[in-house]
Chains A and B, each alone.
Chain A
Amino acid sequence: MTEQEIIEKTNKVFEESFEIEKDKLVPTAHIFTDLGLDSLDIVDLVVALQNSFGVKIRNEERVRDIRTLQDIYQFIFTIKKEEIDKKS
């Protein structure tokens, strides 16, 4: 999965699940202060990301460090890379 695909899929989650307009989805956008998510939304974000990327991240401590969209892109990229490394 390329970085661009990760960005597109993640942004789609924000558009569809959280009804956020496309032009607000910039990498530096803070998911709480800029995009208006709250603690309940984070639970739904995790479920949506799990379904979109086929990963299990519900008990991942690193989710707590996510603040911006760029953090999510990077986190998913890292998780996917770890999966590949594990398999090889």
Chain B
Amino acid sequence: MSFKRVVITGMGVVSPFGNGVSVLMQGIEQGRSAVQRMEDWDRYIGLQSLVGAPAEVKDEKRIPRQKRRSMGRMSIFAAQAAEEALVDAGITLAQEDRWRIGCIIGSTMGSAKSINDAFEIILPNKDLGQLNSTMFFQCMSHTAAVNVAQYLGLNGSIMAPAAACASALHAIGIGYDLIRLGRQDVLLCGGAEELHPTVTGSFDILFATSAKYNATPQDTPRPFDKDRDGLVCGEGSGILVLEEYEHARKRNAVIHAEVLGFNTTANGFHVSQSNKESMVACMKQAMNDAGVNPGDIDYINAHATATIQGDQEEAEAIRDIFGTSVPVSSLKGYIGHTLGASGAIELAASLTMMKQNVIYPTKNLKTVSPDCEGIQHVLQPISKKISTVLKNGFAFGGINAALVCKKF
């Protein structure tokens, strides 16, 4: 059985820099940081990290009320990113076989704010009577996928992988498989997540957040840096249009890249600690699936969130396979860690870099930490012809994901 080829024909992003892929790239090109001190977070007892990279909810009233009422922040982000991706792809849904277009959009969980609000309503008096009709639809784990499908009127496969920070890459990997197996023609794939003190708190209680830079938020996170002290949560959504190649060719679509390979592995030994061995296996198997060798990779977009242990394990894993031969950068210093959305937002940025033949550096990486040496860190923008990129994404639960894309 031969697999079908899968290409990426559309990209859409809502990030802490604003709405749109071009706005994201502008922020990165200018070397800006979207991280800021979060107002009122100091009222949470025990929360050490008071910084975040918020995205603005804007133009949400363009979404009709009866579609919007079931959306928390993350679903609004996802709907807007999906809309941009569809426009970018030039797809008119009415002209397509509606049973063969769907969406696969992952996240760690449902809307953090809505979940928090729901319990604030219920718990004081154990009263369910004050809940509105759509709160559950904002809280459920597949909220972003469902809301995008309802908003756009999609009738094909709708799925929502929940794999924390690897969710978006899982969504793209699943979409890649469904299309190459011939089950779907077009899938909007990616992730969405939102910033909330309880979300940052889930990392904070494990000492995985950045807590030393509350007074100088733009200096953190610091992936691979000797002074890194943890991650900074962000929010937003990234959606990519994955399309069967012949389908894209027939309608003369502009093709951003071809998806060549995907893999996901688990470390199987610890729920929160990263593990080099399983990362190495993940990257190698993704390249094997893609039919490429380490020497074919021109750029690695690292997961690197600036945690002490995670960055070290990823740097060692990359070093074991690539040594210093391939430029590596992380985008977390610009927009924070957008968690379940990060894989798709950062892939959209990486594919844009591939188009522009430029690699943007790891922001806030001033002095490479000794435990992250041995790989080719990007400290200044590099002009380089990029044909093939490797995107990493790792998550709590010991989950690893890696995707290989090639310029078309």
Contacts and interface: CB of A to CB of B under 8 A. Distances in A.
Interface residues of A, number: 12
B36 to A, nearest CB: 31
B276 interface: no
Chain B, interface residues (CB within 8 Å), range: 10 to 19
Contacts of A51: 130
Contacts of B131: 47
B133 A41 contact: yes
B129 A40 contact: no
A15 to B, nearest CB: 12
Interface in B122-142: 129-134
B132 A58 contact: no
A84 interface: no
Contacts, number: 24
B65 A19 contact: yes
A60 interface: no
B132 A38 contact: no
Among B66, B129, B133, the one with the most A-chain Cβ atoms within 10 Å of its Cβ is B133
A32 interface: no
B65 A40 contact: no
Contact of B66 (A38, A43, A58): A38
A18 B65 contact: yes
Q: Which 6 A-B pairs have the closest CB atoms?
A: A43-B133, A40-B133, A44-B132, A19-B65, A44-B133, A58-B129
9 contacts: A19-B65, A41-B66, A43-B132, A44-B132, A47-B130, A47-B131, A47-B132, A50-B129, A58-B129
Interface of B: 61, 65-66, 69, 129-134
